[in-house]
Structure 1
Amino acid sequence: MLPLWSRAQQQDFRSRVRGCLLGGAIGDALGAGIEFESLERIRAAHGPQGVTGYVPAYGRRGTVTDDTQMVLFTMDGLIRAHVRRDGGAWHPPSDVHRAYLRWAATQSAWGPDEREPGLGWLGRQEWLYAERAPGTACLSGLTGPDAARPGTLEAPRNPHSKGCGTVMRAAPFGLLVAWEPQLVFQLAVECSVLTHGHPTGYLSAGAFAVIVHTVVRGGTLEEGVHLALALLSERPAHEETTAALRGALDAVRAGEPSAERVESLGEGWVAEEALAIGLYCALVAHDLRSGLLLAVNHSGDSDSTGAICGNLLGVLHGESALPPGLLAELEGRGTILELADDFVLELLHGPELHGPELPPDERAVWAGRYPTD
């Protein structure tokens, strides 16, 4: 539970959490329809500016991908970890791993199995049962006969993979505002190796979480980057991630933002490139819309770079800065808002929701939403 905050501080925190999740989902949806297209083909199909709003993907406009799905299940896992602490158990990577296993089930099942008591309310959202081009490492790390064994730093899953699936789901760790930055970094790392074991993959996730964490505490993006660089310097095999962050800062100073400058940072299929592109676009953004459009109009993993940029701009400016037209058409907006608010409730008022002094019938409400058995 967080220290006692004023009402204004609580409202600011909720706005930033909502902004982070919704901004990431908007960026994800903007890139979903052009994820596998080259910049040349994007411009040929949509004009010299590229896409300027949603384009159809998976049968409709405003559709999110596996990036947003995994962010939501990350939040679900973190909430359950805090609930479980009431019973004396405290190992958040285990709860996040179980949440990711529930996500993996949505990629093959037709819909929720109501006989499964551990689903919770998020696992019963039928719209989440849709395959949206999930990353190979994410799926292979969470399926198969060995899926119940969580990866660890000593024995990570997919030890040679540094795909961007580590980074695009890592923003929620940064929203643990009462934690120290070193612990936020470490948690993001330990939850990355559940599916991706290459150091650049998990260190990029740790760096991203620390940048989000700095901003949600009221700092700037630049301050977050410099703190991330300091923490990276203490880790072995940090060079690729460090170079990517420095490359993003150098690109900001290089001149007017452009798609070509974005492409100088890579395509975003691997973790450090996705982080660099999303960060660069957030740093140079005049507003959320311009930053998000810059983040998706390039040759590469447009939905993931858009999601990362959206997480950063959303946590920086809060939900009121989100483009209303894009927000109105966003798939799953109600679910995302509800989960964001539940996360805030848990962090601000956890004992009032499930503390041992509550009557059993009152504890059962939250336990039904976030079961820990």
Structure 2
Amino acid sequence: MSHIPSPTERINGCLLGGAIGDALGYRVEFHSWSAIEREFGSGGVRDMHSNLVSDDTQMTLFTAQGLLEARPGKEFGAVRKSYLDWLDTQRLPMPHVHAHGLASEEWLYNRRAPGQACITGLRNGGRPGVNPDSKGCGTVMRSAPFGLMGLSPEAAYDLSARCATITHGHPTAAEAAGAFAMITAHIMNGADLNRAVDDTLLYLQRDPSSSETADALNAAYELAGRIPPEPGSARHLGEGWTAEEALGIGVYCALGAPDPASALTAAVSHGGDSDSTGSVCGNLVGAAFGEGALPDQWKQVEGQATILKIGGRLAKEFH
């Protein structure tokens, strides 16, 4: 891991790593740990028998597309429009004649258990204030691209948190999405994972009021120092259905594991929202160590060509 990845390697690693974690976890989402252990053994999910990705990767790509198409200062509206394009892929059988960009790619029209708040929020217009009680992980799992834009970590936090309100109105949903983007931005600036998480925690704790996201990150940090991530160990941090839990589990596995493959296996081998926790972990280890550090046998994920094309555009546009 001594190689220092280039910005392009980090961006491609982030997007591809997220898709790998998504595909590994999508196979076992909604399964209990005992059911996963019965099927795969105590070593957890180590083989990618199916390379299909879920709405996590789909929405991450549409986030990136919105940012690429945005005029300066108009990022919120462009991301909202891109999410509405994603909504079309979830309710139409195939691209319509005027579809462009990602909405013209048929493989993205597969409906893969999308989050209910994402669907209802966008059906209701995708405007701040929608789903005020929802803090599901649908904000976190799509927000890595905000940290890939070359923004300061603080600006990445703010934009990610604002765009979370397009579908989820609970403050923790926005805060966790912002924190994820901030960690990613710190990594893109050359910080290692530990430093990126430390600096993000300091930012979250600048306000004396309670923070569910800071609590989740502190718990992840503490657990990584006591119990190395392994199949089943993430249960100590919850199941990942909420934004702060998904972030905490992804950070725990990325921080404590000895290599990306071990981190990804631990991140998906638990009872809960395995594709989202795997996606978050994959985004982080991919950004931290670069595309080349990801296991070759897992790289042939669905949509790989599109993922790398979007990664190349992000690198060219912002770095």
Quick check: 1:102 aligned with 2:85?
yes
Q: CA RMSD in A?
A: 1.7
CA distance in 1, matches of 2:209, 2:102: 36
In structure 1, C-alpha distance between the alignment counterparts of 2:202 and 2:81, rounded to whole Å: 31
In the other structure, the counterpart of 2:58 is: 69
2:5 pairs with 1:32: no
Q: CA deviation at 1:107?
A: 0.4
Q: Which amino acid aligns with 2:68?
A: I
Q: CA deviation at 1:38?
A: 0.3
Supply the distance in 1 between the matched residues of 2:103 and 2:208 (Cα, whole angstroms).
Answer: 37
Q: Confirm whether residue 92 of structure 1 aligns to residue 65 of structure 2.
A: no
Structure-to-structure mapping, 1:308-319, within 5 angstroms: 308-319=280-291
Tell whether 2:235 aligns with 1:241: no
| Number of the residue aligned with 1:122 | 102
CA contact (8 A) 2:148 2:314 kept: no
The answer (yes or no) to whether the contact 2:228–2:257 under 8 Å persists in 1 is no
- Give per-residue Cα distances to partners, 1:163-189, cap 9 Å, x unaligned: 000100010001122x22211111010
Residue in structure 2 matched with residue 46 of structure 1 by the alignment:
40
Q: Give the TM-score, by structure 1 length.
A: 0.82
Output one character per residue of 1:25-71: Cα deviation in whole Å (capped at 9) or x when no partner: 0000000110010000011112221221124xxxxx10000000000
Distance 1:243 1:339 in 2: 33
Question: Secondary structure at the residue paired with 1:159?
Answer: coil
Residue aligned with 1:37, SS: coil
C-alpha change, 1:163 and 1:324, in structure 2 (3 Å) is same
Rounded to whole Å, the distance in 1 between the matches of 2:259 and 2:183 is 19
CA deviations on 1:83-136 (whole Å, 9 max, x unpaired) are: x34xxxx2211100000000011001111112x2xx432221110011000000
The gaps in structure 1 that reach 5 residues or longer are: 1-8, 56-60, 349-373
Aligned to 1:366: none
Q: Which amino acid aligns with 2:109?
A: Y
User: Counterpart of 1:174 in structure 2: which amino acid?
Assistant: G
Partner of 1:367: none
Q: Deviations over 1:209-267 (max 9, x none)?
A: 11111111110112111221222224586521111000001101113333343100000
Shift of 1:77: 0.2
> Residue 151 of structure 1: CA displacement?
2.4
Structure 1 235/191 Cα, relative in aligned 2: closer, same or farther at 3 Å? farther
Q: How many residues align?
A: 317
C-alpha contact (below 8 Å) 2:149/2:314 kept by paired residues: no
The superposition leaves residues 253-292 of structure 1 with CA deviations (integer Å, 9 ceiling, x where unpaired) of 1133333431000000001110010000001121111110
Question: Which residue in the other structure is 1:323 paired with?
Answer: 295
Give the fraction of aligned pairs with identical amino acids, expressed as a percent.
45
| Aligned-partner residue type, residue 312 of structure 2 | D
- The structure having more radius of gyration, on CA atoms, is 1
1:200–1:237: 8 Å Cα contact kept in structure 2? no
Runs of 5+ unmatched residues, structure 2: none
Equivalent position of 2:223 in the other structure: 251
Q: How does 1:97-246 map to 2 (within 5 A)?
A: 97-114=80-97, 116=98, 119-143=99-123, 146-147=124-125, 150-152=126-128, 156-177=129-150, 179-235=151-207, 238-246=210-218
| In 1: Cα distance, 2:29 partner to 2:148 partner | 27
Kept after mapping to 1: 8 A contact 2:237/2:248: yes
Structure 2 residue 318 is matched with structure 1 residue 341: no
